[in-house]
Each structure stands twice: as C-alpha cells, then as structure tokens.
Amino acid sequence: MAIGIAAYSCYLPAARLTAAAYRKAWRTAPVGWEQKAVADLDEDALTLALSAASQVDPGRVDYLALVSMTLPYRRKVQAGLLAEGLGLDGQQFISEHTTSRRAGTEALIAQWALLTLSGGGTGLTVAAEVPDSPAMEDAGAPLGAGAVALVLAEGGEAARLDGFQSTCSEDPGLLFTPAGETRVRDVSVPDYAISQYLRSVRKAALPLMARLGTNPADYRFLVLNPPDPRQARSAAKAIGFSDEQWQAAWPYPGSADVGAAQPFLGLVQALDAAQPGDRILLVGHGSGSACDAISLTAGHRAGRGVLRAALAGGREIDYITYLKLCQGV
Amino acid sequence: MREFRLSGRGSVVASTWISAAGAPPEFAEQARLSGGYAVGMVAADEGPMITAQLVGFLEPPPPGTRVRAVIRRLYVEEGVVRYGFKFQAEGAEV
C-alpha cells in the first residue's frame, strides 16, 4: 500500500520582523534570514497549528499528530484542542511529539507506520512553533513562528513516501533544555556540534539511498534542518548533494528557524516547486541526537504555491513591536 | 432543539476600539502591549449575532467587512489558558 502526502498547507503569522529592522536595533546583521514571522499576543503553537490545519480538508481523520517544542503546557494532552477546533469527532488516536527539532519527521514516520499497519485511513500531522526563548538573547534571534499541516493517506497525490532510515546516538551538551527551564543551552563547541550533525546525517541518508538504489543525482531537492544554518552546505556535501539541491528547499531566509516545523516548511517549498516524479530527500535532525532521512516522490497535487502565498501575506513591524509581541518588554 | 454548527463566516455589523484604559482585567495586558484592540458585533451568515474581538485590524473595521472565526488565546487564569473564537478578515489566512 503506497502511503503519502495527500495535501499540505502552512500558516505564518502576519507580523514580520525584517533583517533591516533587527540590524537597526542591534547594529549587526542576523545570520541567514531576511525576515521572520512573529506570533501575535493571542497566538501560541496550538492556535498556529489550528490555523495551518484548518486550510486543508482531510475529511475524516483517524490519526492526529501534534508536533512542537513550544506548546503552552509541559504536562497536559494538548492535541485535543486541535481536534475540537477542527470539528473532529474525538475518535482519533492522537500523539504529541515535543522534545527536539526532529519531532516533525518522527511524527511523519509514526503516522506512516500507523496507516500502513491499519491498512488505510487518514492521518493529519501538524507542526507549529512560537519561540519561547527570550527575544533579546542570542538564542531567540534566529527563531521564527510558523506552522505546517500534512495530510497522509493512501495514494499520496502530493508526494509518495518511498522509504526512511533513522539513526540515534547519545551526544550530550548540544541544544538542550534541562527539566524545569525554558532556555535552550549549548556547550558551544562548534567543531563537536558539526561533527555530530554530519555523522547523523550520513548515518541516516546514505543507507537509505543504498537500500532504495538511488543516488544524489536522482533527487531534485534536499531538505535539511541543521541546528546552525551555516551547516547546511556541509551536510549536503557530506552526502554528495549540490548547493542547488538544498537551496531549492531552504525556506530559512524568509522564515528563520521554525524549530520542529522547519523540515516540513522545507518540504512545502520543495513540493511547491516540484514536478510529478521529482524525488525529495527529507532529513530531520534533532540534537541529542537522532536523525530521520525520508525519501519521497512528488505527485500530481504538488506545485501549489502554498509557501509563497503564506510568505506574501505579512506586515512589517519594528523591533520594539517585536519585543512587545514576544512579551519581552 | 438540535445542535447546529455555524460556518464561522459573517459580516461586521458594528465595531469599536478598546483602549488600554477601557479593557477588562483579563484583557488589560493584551491592550497594554498592543495599544488596544477591536471588538465588534458580527452577523453570522446563518443569522445569529455574535460579539467578539476582531483580530488583525489596526482600527475598527467598517460595517459589512467580511470576517471568519479563528481560535485564539483569550486569557490565562490560574495557569489555565482559555481559548475561544475571535474574528479576522476573510482571506487573511491564505
């Protein structure tokens, strides 16, 4: 049974902080982004998830997965709000994926397995982030808000899922938040960070391509979510991909880092530009570490301009307004 | 009596602006940080009249403005986030 993505959507809040506004406040340029979306005072990861999911009509939903590192509660089932807000009947299996930037691909693989094991049905995976790191600190600067919804079903008119390979290891000290804290910490050893990241990407992507009998030239798009945007080129090179392949699925300049939703946003950019039959390699990495490589083939419902439409509908804000929206003043 | 699900779409009938000084306590922080917010009476397409906040507007929208319901945070009380519907301009979410 061929499972795949039947439909997809994304939502970016209307307020946008530009790199120029950031530079005006700090006299330094941000790394890698030209604008990012900023959630309004009455938005959080759950409302963003609802805004993205309400743009797709999955019909009946059997499996509902919520993906976010920035949910409003540390301990509480929260996907119920998503189910009720979407008008579902409450008879869904729900799962919540919350502990790392790899949570999106983790949820996608889990839903894929559920649909395959159950012999059908419809899955809805929604990833959303509203940064909770202090806006004025270095950790908060590259973080943006956004959400992506993917509908999974048999057939996969937008993209077929062809195979995956996952890897895990124990890599302490990289982008972690101790229990009871909200700040993201890091031991700040760049050589260690990039060596662990590249090792994870290689261990996931290379065996997958070997098993599928594909090579980098067979793929039009490579979707990456490195913990530091400057590592994308190194990751692509490490598995034999060109700059053109990862840059064609690199929404970072328009979105900044949307956390666990980042791999899906890159996937949306790839699907928007894809022709039927184009292959996409989606690599989702989470520090700690785990990494998923997923191979997809675009279908006839790809190429819908979803990300471009979401990026187009914003209004610029100044840095003081940004701080207010982040409740930093 | 039977349950009936509204489409969530409607038109603004009347609206006004709530400044920080006029906001009820649960919305005071929102008003302080945003400089105020719009509220309005919305005629749902199915008939009922609904009073709610209007989001995404920098001034009260004129009567006849088409809107659709969205779920947003209302306020936090004793650590519990209260969610509810507000209305935003139709087409604001692409």
Residue pair B31/B19 in contact (Cβ under 8 Å)? The answer is yes
- Quick one: A77 exposed, middle or buried, by C-beta within 10 A (0-12, 13-18, 19+)? exposed
Segment B17-70, tens digit of pLDDT = 999 888 999 999 899 999 999 999 999 999 999 999 999 999 999 999 999 999
Q: Indicate the residue of A44, A72, A327 with minimum beta-carbon distance to B33.
A: A327
Partners of A121 in the β-ladder? none
CA-to-CA distance for B49 and B14, rounded, in angstroms? 11
Half-sphere exposure of residue A246, counting CA atoms within 13 Å on the CB side?
A: 21
Residues of A at the B interface, defined by Cβ within 8 angstroms: 11, 14, 40-44, 46-47, 50-51, 54-55, 72-73, 81, 85, 87, 309-310, 312-313, 324-325, 327
Q: Does B19 touch chain A (CB under 8 A)?
A: no
Q: Which of A9, A11, A42, A329 has the highest number of chain B CBs within 10 A, making it the mutation to test binding with B? A: A42
Q: What is the pLDDT, as a whole number, of residue B3?
A: 84
pLDDT of residue B93: 58
Residue B94's pLDDT band (boundaries 50, 70, 90)? very low
- Residue A109 in contact with residue A284, Cβ under 8 Å? no
> pTM of the predicted model, to two decimals?
0.96
Of A14, A41, A324, the CB nearest to B92: A14
Of B30, B71, B94, the CB nearest to A41: B30
Looking at beta carbons, which residues of chain A come within 8 Å of B72? 40, 42-43, 47
* 8 Å CB contact of B94 and A324: no
- Candidates A69, A66, A102, A101; CA nearest to A83 is A66
CA dihedral A186, A191, A193, A199 (to 10 degrees): -170
Give me the DSSP letters along B54-79: EES-SSPPPTT-EEEEEEEEEEEETT
- Residue B94 touches partner A, C-beta closer than 8 Å: yes
Instruction: Tell whether B70 lies on the interface with A, counting CB pairs under 8 A.
Output: yes
- Name every chain B residue with its beta carbon within 8 A of the beta carbon of A46: 83
The predicted pLDDT at position A141 comes to 86
CA-based nearest distance A243→chain B, Å: 30
CB spacing of B70 vs A313 below 8 angstroms:
no
Question: Which chain B residue shows the shortest CA-CA distance from A9?
Answer: B94
DSSP 3-state of B9:
strand
Which chain A residues are closer than 8 Å to B92 by Cβ?
Answer: 14, 313
Pairing of strands A279-286, A290-298: antiparallel
Question: For B93, which of A46, A55, A325 is closest by C-beta distance?
Answer: A55
pLDDT tens digit sequence for A122-156: 999 999 999 988 887 777 889 999 999 999 999 99
Residues of chain A whose pLDDT is less than 50? 329
Strands ordered across the beta sheet of A93-97: A93-97, A63-67, A122-129, A146-154, A3-11, A159-168, A290-298, A279-286, A221-223
Residues A247, B50: Cα–Cα separation, whole Å: 47
Q: Which 8-state DSSP code applies to residue A274?
A: P
pLDDT tens for B56-93 read: 999 999 999 999 999 999 999 999 999 999 999 997 75
Q: How far apart are CA A124 and CA A111, in angstroms?
A: 8
Token reading at A258: 């949307």
The identity of residue A192, as a single letter, is Y
Query: In this structure, what DSSP letter does residue A143 have?
Result: B
Three-state DSSP class for A326?
coil
CB B82, CB B76: distance < 8 Å: yes
Inform me whether the C-beta atom of residue B30 falls under 8 Å from chain A C-beta atoms: yes
Residues from chain B that touch A85, judged by Cβ atoms under 8 A, are: 71, 83
